Chain A
């Protein structure tokens, strides 16, 4: 079970990173940072995304946030266009 759990979290994190890269300029802003700072930037980007969609701003990948990320959408970034 722990192994499966990890995989699902990883998948979600990959999804989140890809989403935030594409729509919230994560990659552009974070590619020069060390990993610890990068993690903090991801949390900030999650907060930014949650705020944009009117979700509770936690900075964590909760189910509502993931649900929004999985919804079909427009490919134009929400920020940094």
Chain B
């Protein structure tokens, strides 16, 4: 194959059929021309649009003998069937067919589709190929017009100029379903909600109840279809609402309803513009103060006055001694704060300001043998119930000793 660079410097090209041959129905000519162009658009990023007036990139005409200002001429029946000019302004791209030929849509005479497809190869920048199987071979060869006429040589040629078809966008990965007993389980956000605790992870959430030994696994969308997946923070405010955060937005939820006019910007809460997302949030129900965690910093928000407290942000470790981590999720349960980071969770006494226990995040799901599989319930059904969940406060001597040992061991690490 041969080609001239740079070809058209664009991928969207227009064409216009200036006149029609009387040999064929207009619709048949339209079809032959369109299919002749599609031959090339099937293997390149090129797209062709037909226009009916004005100057198109590819002006198509049926002419005879010496015609207009065209520097090439036709020679009556047989001989030369058509010609076209390489990409460029003026005559560039223009394609002429010899009206003295007998144009057809099938095998008798000269098949307009085959000749047009060849000429459009020139109009796009290809020159003749000496490969006798190529459409760009100069001599007319009667091929089966139902078969795709390009040879590999033609495809290589045109792709040398315009590249291949644009790659299909990669299929989004199947969202993974989190496993409650995965020892590496982490949470995006955790919040209490009335008498429940909700653990958010990707598109899903788990719900546990304070006094019922049951856990439910649901799609977030099944409760609040308008919420996005991959929430980053959530908390329950003293007015029976939960606020969920993602990037610079937050939504307010009451029961099963996301309140109108949300999402709103987190900056309406008083965050400076440099804060682009919230890692975690928790409201102290006693003081009605909400703590927002952003990296190593925390802000305190007064739920009564709806303003940020002065003196913040503070370093998390300064306000919560022992918590020298970036917090993934936080919530308050029975007076204690629980901070999650990775697969670890820290029970924190906000009165004495120290860590009282360290445990796995999924301790709440009472996994008997934490492993990389679901337990007790079939999470593939997206909704499931576990049997016999016991909340941490149920006394377990061994767990208590385990906690004390870890507390002593890790307090030194995290301080």
Task: Check A75/B130 contact, CB under 8 A, given A68-B139, A81-B4.
Answer: no
0 or 1 for each of A10-32: is its CB under 8 Å from B? (1 = yes): 00000000000011000000000
Q: Which of B4, B74, B78, B132 contacts A75 (CB 8 A)?
A: B74
Chain A residues touching B, range: 10 to 19
> B79 touching A72 by the CB < 8 A rule?
yes
Task: Check A73/B80 contact, CB under 8 A, given A23-B138, A68-B139, A81-B4.
Answer: yes
- Would you call B84 an interface residue if the criterion is a C-beta within 8 Å of the partner chain's C-beta atoms? yes
- Would you call A54 an interface residue if the criterion is a C-beta within 8 Å of the partner chain's C-beta atoms? yes
> B81 touching A75 by the CB < 8 A rule?
yes
> A72 touching B78 by the CB < 8 A rule?
yes
Most interface-central of A22, A52, A73 (chain B CB within 10 A): A73
Q: Which A residues between 61 and 81 are near B, CB-CB below 8 angstroms?
A: 68, 71-78, 81
In the complex, which residue of chain A has the Cβ closest to the Cβ of B115? Answer: A74
Could you write out 18 A-B pairs with CB less than 8 Å apart? A53-B130, A54-B132, A72-B78, A72-B110, A72-B139, A73-B79, A73-B81, A73-B140, A74-B80, A74-B81, A74-B115, A74-B138, A75-B82, A76-B127, A76-B128, A78-B127, A78-B138, A81-B86
Most interface-central of B82, B86, B127, B128 (chain A CB within 10 A): B128
Q: Which of B81, B119, B132 contacts A72 (CB 8 A)?
A: B81
In the complex, which residue of chain B has the Cβ closest to the Cβ of A22? Answer: B80
Chain B contact residue count (CB 8 A cutoff): 25
Other 15 A-B pairs with CB < 8 A, given A71-B139, A74-B122:
A53-B132, A68-B139, A72-B80, A73-B138, A74-B83, A74-B118, A74-B119, A75-B72, A75-B74, A75-B83, A76-B127, A76-B128, A77-B128, A78-B138, A81-B4
Instruction: Collect the chain A residues with CB atoms within 8 Å of residue B138's CB.
Output: 23, 73-74, 76, 78
Interface residues of A (CB under 8 A from B): 22-23, 52-54, 68, 71-78, 81
> B139 touching A76 by the CB < 8 A rule?
no
The distance in angstroms between the C-alpha atoms of A80 and B150, with both chains bound, is: 24
The distance in angstroms between the C-alpha atoms of A17 and B115, with both chains bound, is: 25
Interface residues of B (CB under 8 A from A): 4, 72, 74, 78-84, 86, 98, 101, 110, 115, 118-119, 122, 127-128, 130, 132, 138-140
| Shortest distance from the beta carbon of B31 to any chain A beta carbon, whole Å | 21
Task: Check A52/B130 contact, CB under 8 A, given A72-B110, A72-B139.
Answer: yes
> B80 touching A78 by the CB < 8 A rule?
no
The distance in angstroms between the C-alpha atoms of A23 and B79, with both chains bound, is: 12
> B140 touching A76 by the CB < 8 A rule?
no
> B128 touching A78 by the CB < 8 A rule?
yes
| Shortest distance from the beta carbon of B301 to any chain A beta carbon, whole Å | 74
> A81 touching B82 by the CB < 8 A rule?
no
The distance in angstroms between the C-alpha atoms of A77 and B72, with both chains bound, is: 10
The distance in angstroms between the C-alpha atoms of A72 and B130, with both chains bound, is: 16
> A76 touching B122 by the CB < 8 A rule?
yes
| Shortest distance from the beta carbon of A53 to any chain B beta carbon, whole Å | 7
In the complex, which residue of chain B has the Cβ closest to the Cβ of A72? Answer: B140
Instruction: Collect the chain B residues with CB atoms within 8 Å of residue A77's CB.
Output: 128
> B127 touching A81 by the CB < 8 A rule?
yes
The distance in angstroms between the C-alpha atoms of A71 and B81, with both chains bound, is: 10
Instruction: Collect the chain A residues with CB atoms within 8 Å of residue B81's CB.
Output: 72-75
Instruction: Collect the chain A residues with CB atoms within 8 Å of residue B79's CB.
Output: 72-73
The 10 closest A-B pairs by CB, nearest first: A75-B83, A75-B80, A72-B140, A73-B139, A71-B139, A73-B138, A78-B128, A52-B130, A74-B138, A72-B78
In the complex, which residue of chain A has the Cβ closest to the Cβ of B126? Answer: A76
